[in-house]
Chains A and B, each alone.
Chain A
Amino acid sequence: MMYILSQYLQFPFVQYAVIVGVLIALCSSLLGVTLVLKRFSFIGDGLSHVAFGAIAIASALNLTNETPFVMVVTVLSAILLLRTGQNAKIKGDASIAMLSVGSLAIGYLLMNLFSTSTNLSGDVCSTLFGSTSILTLTKGEVWLCGIMSLFVVAVFILFYNKIFAVTFDESFAKSAGTNANAYNLLIAVIIAVIIVLAMNLVGSLLISALVIFPALSAMRVFKSFKSVTICSAVLSVICALIGLLIAIVAGTPVGSTIVAVDILAFALFTVIGIMK
Chain B
Amino acid sequence: MAQITCENLILGYDGKEILRNLNFTVNAGDYLCIVGENGSGKTTLMKALLGLHTPMQGEITFGDGLKRNEIGYLPQQTLVQRDFPASVEEIVLSGCQGRCGLRPFYNKAEKRLAAENIDKMGLKGFEKRCYRELSGGQQQRVLLARALCATQKLLLLDEPVSGLDPHVTTEMYALINHLNKMDGITVMMISHDMEAALRYATHILHIGKRMFYGTRDEFLRSEVGKYFTLMYGGDKA
Chain A residues packing against B (C-beta within 8 Å): 33, 37-39, 157-162, 164-165, 167-169, 171-178, 219, 222-226, 228
- B90 and A224: CB pair below 8 A? yes
Further 11 A-B residue pairs, CB within 8 A, beyond A164-B90, A172-B95, A226-B90: A37-B80, A37-B85, A160-B104, A161-B94, A161-B104, A171-B73, A175-B71, A176-B69, A222-B85, A224-B89, A225-B86
Which 9 A-B pairs rank lowest in CB-CB distance, beginning with the nearest? A177-B69, A176-B98, A223-B130, A224-B87, A175-B73, A175-B50, A165-B94, A225-B86, A158-B104
Residues in B with CB closer than 8 Å to A224 are 85-87, 89-90, 128, 130
Residues in B with CB closer than 8 Å to A225 are 84-87, 90
Given A161-B100, A175-B52, answer yes or no on A223-B85 (Cβ-Cβ < 8 Å): yes
Residues in B with CB closer than 8 Å to A228 are 85
Closest chain B residue, CB of each to CB of A157: B104
- A178 and B97: CB pair below 8 A? yes
Number of contacting residues on B, CB 8 A?
36
Chain B residues packing against A (C-beta within 8 Å): 47, 50-52, 68-69, 71, 73, 75, 78, 80-81, 84-87, 89-91, 93-95, 97-98, 100, 104-106, 128-130, 133, 146-147, 150, 156
- A177 and B104: CB pair below 8 A? no
Bound together, the chains give a CA A228 to CA B132 distance in angstroms of 14
Residues in B with CB closer than 8 Å to A164 are 86, 90, 94
Given A161-B105, A169-B75, A171-B52, answer yes or no on A176-B86 (Cβ-Cβ < 8 Å): no
Bound together, the chains give a CA A162 to CA B96 distance in angstroms of 11
Residues in B with CB closer than 8 Å to A177 are 68-69, 98
Bound together, the chains give a CA A169 to CA B94 distance in angstroms of 10
Instruction: Determine how close the nearest CB of chain A comes to the CB of B204; give it in whole angstroms.
Output: 23
Instruction: Determine how close the nearest CB of chain B comes to the CB of A249; give it in whole angstroms.
Output: 35
- A171 and B100: CB pair below 8 A? no
Cβ contacts A to B, 5 pairs, < 8 Å: A169-B94, A171-B47, A172-B94, A224-B128, A225-B87
- A165 and B97: CB pair below 8 A? yes
- B75 and A171: CB pair below 8 A? yes
Instruction: Determine how close the nearest CB of chain B comes to the CB of A160; give it in whole angstroms.
Output: 7
Bound together, the chains give a CA A19 to CA B97 distance in angstroms of 36
- B80 and A162: CB pair below 8 A? no
Residues in B with CB closer than 8 Å to A165 are 94, 97
Residues in B with CB closer than 8 Å to A178 are 97-98
Residues in A with CB closer than 8 Å to B129 are 223
- B80 and A39: CB pair below 8 A? yes
